[in-house]
């Protein structure tokens, strides 16, 4: 059973991710944002369902498609938007852009332009938590393409062998750009959760477009990661769909029909799925959704204004925050 406030909060998170991204798309197309922008539209229920099970001190590691994870972990969208615009008020002083948003204050350790770059960082965070006698757990989001990287296998093995509390969340959208289709011969198994067996991890496969399914499976994995004995790692395969192009500049026509991809999304939109379930159960009313959407529109406009009005970094900033 869910509390009304809780349901509204999850809904607001998903809507905030969607509207933040549609605004980022507009700004990128208008060349207000100069760096590359990879959109998460259609995958919102994964980040929201997973992060709904985490505490502020838990850690997450993200991907090149990281806006959703960052928002779901509770980051402030003003410095996030400013980061996309390359402004000094950005969460990384404008040095990282969309692919490197981070907010340590909420345990969001960073999006990552290196596919598969987050695994080792997530395992390291779990190890650090152990040394600090903290009960924080660590979650790493990654795509089906990233699961083919050596970094996945090395990190999974170490986390399992050392009994570290790490949950591997695979966002299986069936496509890894450049290698095109998961079904196209780039990986030996299509059921990616089978990989968990090799590291003796508890694993689940869920409909990633169903917030409630994601959250229910994640809750079980979190319980074991936080309180379990022995191997505490988990693997959650979320089957989902990327609605838009790989990034805002991607000519997806070369590998799929954009209209068909969009139609598939419309028929199984995670936000609409959530609304339908809440209405069917009598948990929320139609007007509740409208109120949240209006509120989020205001937040997005405020973040956009903040980003546009903020200054760019001074050139001297190039020489700060670096190692000698
Ligand atoms: C080490 C590395 N190799 C290749 C790339 C180029 N690249 C960027 S995204 C991507 C596909 C990633 O696919 P997946 O992990 O399934 O995530 P998705 O884009 O589907 O969310 C590739 C090959 C990269 N950024 N880093």
Each residue of 81-94: pLDDT tens digit? 999 999 999 999 99
Please give the pLDDT value at position 180: 59
**Predicted local confidence at residue 323, as pLDDT:** 86
Atom of ligand 1 nearest to the CA of 142: 15
Residue entry with tokens 């060349």:
31
Q: Kindly report, residue by residue over 256-300, the tens digit of the pLDDT.
A: 999 999 999 999 999 999 999 999 999 999 999 999 999 999 999
Query: How does 196-216 read in b/e, with b if 16+ C-beta sit within 10 Å?
Result: beebebbbbbbbbbbbbbbbe
Going from the Cα of 64 to the center of ligand 1, the distance in angstroms, rounded, reads 8
Checking if the pLDDT of 255 tops 90, the result is no
| Position 318 in a domain | no
Model confidence, pTM? 0.97
Residue to probe by mutation, ligand 1, list 176, 208, 252, most atoms within 8 Å of CB: 176
More confident site: 182 or 317: 317
End-to-end CA distance of the chain: 54
Q: Residue 314 falls within a domain, yes or no?
A: no
Q: Is residue 316 part of a domain?
A: no
Report which ligand 1 atom has the smallest distance to the Cα of 176. 13
**Has residue 270 been placed in a domain?**
yes
Strands 138-143 and 59-61: parallel
Q: How far is CA 149 from CA 82, 119, 142, 246, 247, in A?
A: 32, 10, 11, 19, 21
With cut-offs at 50, 70 and 90, classify the pLDDT of residue 186. Answer: confident
Sheet-wide strand order for 138-143:
59-61, 138-143, 166-172, 234-239, 202-207
The per-residue pLDDT for range 14-38, each reduced to its tens digit, is 999 999 999 999 999 999 999 999 9
Cα 237 to its chain centre, rounded Å, is: 13
Answer for the pair 15, 299: CB distance below 8 angstroms, yes or no: no
Q: Which residues contact 38 (CB under 8 A, 6 or more apart)?
A: 64, 65, 98, 99, 246, 247, 248
- Domains of the chain: total: 1
In a domain, 150, yes or no: yes
320 part of a folded domain: no
- Domain with residue 270: its CATH number is 3.40.50.970
Per the structure, the complete domain to which residue 254 belongs is given by: 4-308
Q: Identify the pLDDT of residue 50.
A: 99
- Alpha-carbon gap, residue 85 to 307, rounded angstroms: 6
| CA nearest neighbour of 242 among 155, 180, 168, 185 | 180
Q: What is the mean pLDDT of residues 59-64?
A: 98
The number of the ligand 1 atom at minimal distance from the alpha carbon of 177 is 11
Residue 233 has pLDDT above 60, yes or no: yes
């Amino acid at each position: 059973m869910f509390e009304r406030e809780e349901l509204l909060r999850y809904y607001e998170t998903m809507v905030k991710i969607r509207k933040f991204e549609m605004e980022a798309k507009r700004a990128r197309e208008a060349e207000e944002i100069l760096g590359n922008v990879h959109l998460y539209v259609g995958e919102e229920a994964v980040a929201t369902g997973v992060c709904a099970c985490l505490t502020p001190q838990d850690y997450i590691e993200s991907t090149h498609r990281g806006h959703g994870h960052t928002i779901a972990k509770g980051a402030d969208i003003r410095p996030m938007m400013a980061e996309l615009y390359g402004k000094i008020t950005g969460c990384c002083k404008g040095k990282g852009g969309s692919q490197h948003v981070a907010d340590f204050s909420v345990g969001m350790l960073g999006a990552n332009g290196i596919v598969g770059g987050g695994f080792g960082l997530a395992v390291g965070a779990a190890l650090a938590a152990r040394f600090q006698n903290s009960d924080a757990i660590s979650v790493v989001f990654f795509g089906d393409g990233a699961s083919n990287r050596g970094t996945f296998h090395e990190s999974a093995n170490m986390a399992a062998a050392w009994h570290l509390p790490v949950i591997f969340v695979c966002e299986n959208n069936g496509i890894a750009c450049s290698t095109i289709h998961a079904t196209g011969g780039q990986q030996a198994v299509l059921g990616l959760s089978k990989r968990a067996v090799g590291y003796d991890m508890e694993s689940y496969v869920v409909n990633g477009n169903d917030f409630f399914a994601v959250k229910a499976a994640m809750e079980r994995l979190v319980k074991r990661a936080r309180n379990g004995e022995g191997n505490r790692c988990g693997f959650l395969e979320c089957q989902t769909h990327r609605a838009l192009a790989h990034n805002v500049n991607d000519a997806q026509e070369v590998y799929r029909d954009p209209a068909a991809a969009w139609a598939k999304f419309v028929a199984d939109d995670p936000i609409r799925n959530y609304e339908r379930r809440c209405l069917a159960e009598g948990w929320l009313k139609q007007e509740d959704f409208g109120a949240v959407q209006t509120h989020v529109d205001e937040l997005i406009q405020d973040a956009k204004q903040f980003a546009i009005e903020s200054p760019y970094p001074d050139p001297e900033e190039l020489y700060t925050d670096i190692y000698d």
